Amino acid sequence: MIKIDKKKLIPCPICSAVNINKGKENTCYRCGSAIYHHKKFSTEKSWAFLITAIIAYIPANIYPMLITNTFGTHVGSTILEGVVLLWEHGSYPIAIVIFFASIMIPIIKFLILLYLLISVKYPIGKDKKINKHKLYYITEAIGPWSMIDVFVVAILAALIHLSNVSIVAGMAARAFAISVFFTLLAAHAFDKTLINEYK
Amino acid sequence: MKLKNEAALDNLIICHRCFTLHKEVPMRDGLEACCLECGSVLYRHNTKLLDKGLALSITGLIFFVLANFFPLVKIEILGHEQLITIPKTIFSLMQSGFYIVGLLCMFLIFIFPLMTFTINTILFSLLKLKHANLWTKELLVLLAHIKPWSMTDIFLISILVSLVKLIGHAQIHMGVAFYSLVVFVLIDLYIVKRVHLLEIWILRKQILSEEYSK
């Protein structure tokens, strides 16, 4: 018979097996992967990824996402201009999808991750009104969907390249893809067990 | 809290969403165990998971090959015909100098989905042949790493979005690969996205304990 404090049980992030927290470095008994639990550097990795993502998000909104060449004239449109253009043309559902996928979701993710990262270190948000596990789950569920815009640009650029009319991906596609990639990394690097500790 | 020994940890489950501690309970076939706190599904008891998993993984691989070799969409614009396949989409990004985006797309919509299905096929066939000790641990760890990164479902929605953008400018014909991709995504949602990795770990545990009792 062994006695364990309930709070000392932590799940393995890879295989979700229940492990006993033995201090500095644990290895999961089932899958053998390390369960990191640094006291000092618990959130730094996630911070680094998140800041990179936010920096990359700025050029993604300034530079053109799609460049349309029609009979020698180049017209570039940024993400927001693309949404407005779609709205004016009357394709409202698509405008809403693109608006959510490439403007709302990244911003919501940035805000939630910022809030989570700050609240696990500093005592703001110790109130139980906001369910932080739910917030984290939301970021994980909606995160990948912002890739829609990058894929759409890739498909349109591959489909339309005639001599007179062609669509080319713009600088923003690069920045946006990098931004989405790093927000996903930041969400994965976030240590979920920290939320529990500060309940 | 008291436990008999460390092996008894295997019967405990921590909810992946809200970190509440639970104990694994025996259930009837086809039922789901839900978390008391947040209501999310902890695991499902499905005795046919092994057979279904193996069959659908192989089916998925076949449809994935179809989806990659045949034209996805064909459009007619200003009297010209254009068609794309999935590899062509990636290569045209590379050709126009978008190496990072191209590489990212290649991993998200080609390499990772292919890897998840190959791993699933190998994993389920190893478990089916009762070789639960061989490679299965490594494969499950690898699967856990790449599972969140396979994005064929998002790619499918992107195809639809870009086609709606083209309506009125061009004539659109769906290709064979598009329908294969739809089937592939449905299988992916059913056998990869819906099945928690925990269920495969439980399955592995059962097969291992059967081996030991022999």
* B187: confidence class by pLDDT, cuts 50, 70, 90: very high
Q: Judge if A123 and A157 occupy the same domain.
A: yes
Contact present, B38 and B18 (Cβ < 8 Å): yes
Instruction: Provide the CA A20 distance to its chain's centre, in angstroms.
Output: 30
Smallest CA–CA distance, residue A151 to chain B, in Å, is 6
CB atoms within 10 A of CB B169: 12
Helices in chain A by DSSP H: which ranges? 44-62, 79-89, 92-99, 105-121, 132-142, 148-159, 171-189, 193-197
The stretch A109-137 carries a mean pLDDT of 79
Q: What is the pLDDT of residue B112?
A: 94
Contacts of A97 (CB under 8 A, 6+ apart): A148, B157, B161
The stretch A52-65 carries a mean pLDDT of 91
- Structure tokens given for B98: 């978008």
Please calculate the CA angle B205-B186-B27 and round it to the nearest 5 degrees.
35
Smallest CA–CA distance, residue B58 to chain A, in Å, is 24
Q: Which residue of B has its CA nearest to A163?
A: B80
pLDDT tens-digit series, residues B126-143: 988 888 777 888 888 899
Burial label, A151 (beta-carbon count in 10 A; 0-12, 13-18, 19+): buried
Q: Judge if A3 and A61 occupy the same domain.
A: no
Contact present, B76 and B88 (Cβ < 8 Å): no
Residue A108 has pLDDT above 80, yes or no: yes
The more confident residue out of B165 and B117 is: B117
State how far the alpha carbon of B121 is from the alpha carbons of A7, B94, B211, in Å: 38, 31, 21
Q: Judge if A178 and A136 occupy the same domain.
A: yes
Residues of A183-199 as b/e, b for ≥16 C-beta within 10 angstroms?
bbbbbbbbbbbbbbeee
Phi and psi at residue B73, in whole multiples of 5°?
A: -140, 145
Give the residue among B151, B25, B162 at the shortest CA–CA distance from A154: B162
* A198: confidence class by pLDDT, cuts 50, 70, 90: very low
Q: Judge if A165 and A79 occupy the same domain.
A: yes
The stretch A43-72 carries a mean pLDDT of 89
Percentage of chain A modeled with pLDDT above 90: 18
The more confident residue out of B172 and B1 is: B172
* A18: confidence class by pLDDT, cuts 50, 70, 90: confident
The more confident residue out of B154 and A20 is: B154
The stretch A182-193 carries a mean pLDDT of 85
Percentage of chain B modeled with pLDDT above 70: 97
Q: What is the pLDDT of residue B117?
A: 94
Q: Judge if A72 and A122 occupy the same domain.
A: yes
Asked if the C-beta of A178 comes within 8 angstroms of chain B's C-beta atoms, the answer is yes
Q: How many domains does chain A have?
A: 2
Q: How far apart are CA A145 and CA B19, in angstroms?
A: 25
> Range of A102's domain?
40-197
The CATH number given to whatever domain includes residue A150 is 1.20.140
Residue A197 has pLDDT above 60, yes or no: no
Residue A74 has pLDDT above 50, yes or no: yes
Q: Judge if A56 and A1 occupy the same domain.
A: no
Interface of B with A in 50-79 (CB under 8 A): 73, 75, 77-78
Mean pLDDT score across all residues of chain A: 82
The stretch A92-107 carries a mean pLDDT of 89
Q: How far apart are CA B210 and CA B213, in angstroms?
A: 5
pLDDT tens-digit series, residues A160-172: 887 778 888 888 8
Q: How far apart are CA A5 and CA A138, in angstroms?
A: 30
The more confident residue out of B83 and B187 is: B187
Q: Judge if A46 and A86 occupy the same domain.
A: yes
Residue B10 has pLDDT above 80, yes or no: no
* B63: confidence class by pLDDT, cuts 50, 70, 90: very high
Q: Judge if A142 and A50 occupy the same domain.
A: yes
Q: Judge if A184 and A101 occupy the same domain.
A: yes
A14: chain B residues, CB-CB within 8 Å: 141, 144-145
A6: chain B residues, CB-CB within 8 Å: 1, 21
The more confident residue out of B54 and A30 is: B54
B197: chain A residues, CB-CB within 8 Å: 15-16
Residue A194 has pLDDT above 80, yes or no: no
The more confident residue out of A157 and B3 is: A157
The stretch A69-92 carries a mean pLDDT of 85
Asked if the C-beta of A155 comes within 8 angstroms of chain B's C-beta atoms, the answer is yes
Interface confidence (ipTM) of the complex: 0.88
pTM: 0.89
CB atoms within 10 A of CB A166: 16
Percentage of chain B modeled with pLDDT above 90: 27
B19: chain A residues, CB-CB within 8 Å: 11, 133, 192-193, 195-196
Q: Judge if A22 and A59 occupy the same domain.
A: no
B108: chain A residues, CB-CB within 8 Å: 147
Q: Which residue in A31, A144, A159 is closest to B75 by CB distance?
A: A159
Q: What is the pLDDT of residue B15?
A: 82
